[in-house]
Amino acid sequence: MQARIRKALYTICGIVLAGCGEGNGSPAPPTKTVTLNASPTSYALTLFDSAPQPVTITRSYGSFTSLGLSVSDPTSLGVTVPVLSGSTARFGIIPIANTALGKTVTATDSTGATTSVSVTSGVCGRPAGLVAAQQVIPSSGATGVNASIGQLFFVAYFSGFNPVPSGNLHLIVGAQNTLEGGSLVPATVPPGTALPTPIPLPNATSIIVSATLPALTAGQKYQTELYNDPCQFPVLAGTFST
């Protein structure tokens, strides 16, 4: 009888109390909270900074499986694709347009842990070289664009009467994500392409340019922006969706 009672108590301890004595259960391990740390935590850009600014994110424990990056104002900043290596992730912040009012890049890992980097710059005092842009192919507002389109065309307006076109393509993905395209090069649109109504800008020359871009995501809205001087205000060209 005593043996039966002892066996019943062992069973209760193992199932209900998860290890109160000689039962079969064991205490659950303590839950660890993942934290992320950015280095540096802020950038004060000079008016001549144009190269990606490096950022390193470290995880308090465990390895990165993904890292999402969002930008508070994606017309002013872009980000490179993060490179993950164990508990470390590295990416670059790309100056696109003036950030005198301050912007933030936020990093989020698969657990929901976040950290951020603040970015500011001085007030620009030099004239803009690229003053306006219009999206041509695809036409602004187009829907159902092939995600593998690979190349976009624009009318770019540069200061002066004999400008040398220069700059890059920047895409705003949704509300707070970004994607970088290629450099602007002079181009010719296919015959029969409808051009937008010219913008009447004094002392400016319009040039057809194109830029390559990586594969896009189906069912996504994009906004296009051209830039050749991160000191200036954003030059938005148009929108389209895939």
From residue 113, alpha-carbon distances to 18, 61, 68, 107, 190 in Å are 31, 12, 10, 8, 48
- How large is the average pLDDT for residues 135-161? 96
Please state the three-class secondary structure of the chain as a single string: CHHHHHHHHHHHHHHCCCCCCCCCCCCCCCCCCCCEEEECCEEEECCCCCCCEEEEEEECCCCCCCEEEEECCCCCEEECCCEEECCEEEEEEEECCCCCCCEEEEEEECCCCEEEEEEEECCCCCCCCEEEEEEEECCCCECCCCCCCCEEEEEEEEECCCCCCCCEEEEEECCCEEEEEEECEECCCCCCCCCCCCCCCCCEEEEEEEEECCCCCCCCEEEEEEECCCCCCCEEEEEEEC
- Largest distance between two CA atoms of the chain: 106
Token output for 49: 């900074």
The pLDDT-based confidence of 32 (bands split at 50, 70, 90) is confident
Q: 48-83 pLDDT, tens per residue? A: 899 999 999 999 999 999 999 999 999 999 999 999
* Residue 19 scores a pLDDT above 90: no
- How large is the average pLDDT for residues 235-241? 98
Q: 165-206 pLDDT, tens per residue? A: 899 999 999 999 999 999 999 999 999 999 999 999 999 999
How confident is the prediction for the chain on average, in pLDDT? 89
Q: What is the Cα–Cα distance from 175 to 106, expressed in whole angstroms? A: 13
Fold of 130-241: Immunoglobulin-like (2.60.40)
Q: What pLDDT, on a 0 to 100 scale, did the predictor assign at position 100?
A: 82
In CATH, 36-121 is 2.60.40.10: yes
Token output for 103: 């912007």
Global confidence as pTM: 0.84
Q: Which residues 6+ apart lie within 8 Å of 155 measured at CB?
A: 133, 134, 136, 195, 196, 198, 206, 207, 208, 209
In the chain, domain spans: 36-121, 130-241
Answer yes or no: same fold for 36-121 and 130-241: yes
